[in-house]
Amino acid sequence: MDDCVFCRILAGDIPSTSVYEDDRIYAFRDIDPKAPTHILVIPRRHLASLNEVTPGDRDLLGHMMTTATAIAVDEGLAPRGYRLVINCGADGGQAVDHLHLHLLGGRALGWPPG
């Protein structure tokens, strides 16, 4: 996907700060952090959003989430807590059309979201 910013990050065309990677997923620091710790976990396979997810992606999504929780521990976020978010579509506030899980922590986060 030449026009997908996260595919371009995966290809190494756009630099990013790596946090974790394996054969299925990549985690990197958000370029415009909304909290002291803001990390994105993405699948290497281009999926535009949660709207494209099928039951066959269950393991992938579970892997993204359990990796994010492990990163949260590594980043020292677990004792005070943190938030995992996937925005979907226009109403969900999704700006980049490549599925991504946000890990946010390091400050008290408001609720409900805007």
Residues in contact with ligand 5GP by CB under 6 A are: 5, 14, 16, 28, 30-32, 40, 87, 93-96
Residues constituting the chain: 114
Tokens of 41: 């976990």
Verify binding: residue 7, Zn ion, rule CB under 5 A: yes
Closest CB 46 distance from Zn ion, rounded Å? 4
The span of 13-21, 42-50, 55-63, 66-74 binding Zn ion (CB under 5 A) equals 42-50
Is the four-CA dihedral 22, 78, 100, 54 of positive or negative sign?
positive
| CB of 3 or CB of 32, closer to ligand 5GP | 32
Q: What span, in angstroms and rounded, lies between the C-alpha atoms of 4 and 61?
A: 20
Strands 101-105 and 82-85: antiparallel
Tokens 């959003």 -> residue: 49
3-class secondary-structure state, position 73? helix
- # residues near Zn ion by CB under 5 A: 6
Verify binding: residue 46, Zn ion, rule CB under 5 A: yes
Closest CB 75 distance from ligand 5GP, rounded Å? 16
The span of 3-11, 49-57, 58-66, 71-79 binding Zn ion (CB under 5 A) equals 3-11
3-class secondary-structure state, position 29? strand
Instruction: Indicate which residues carry an active-site annotation.
Output: 100
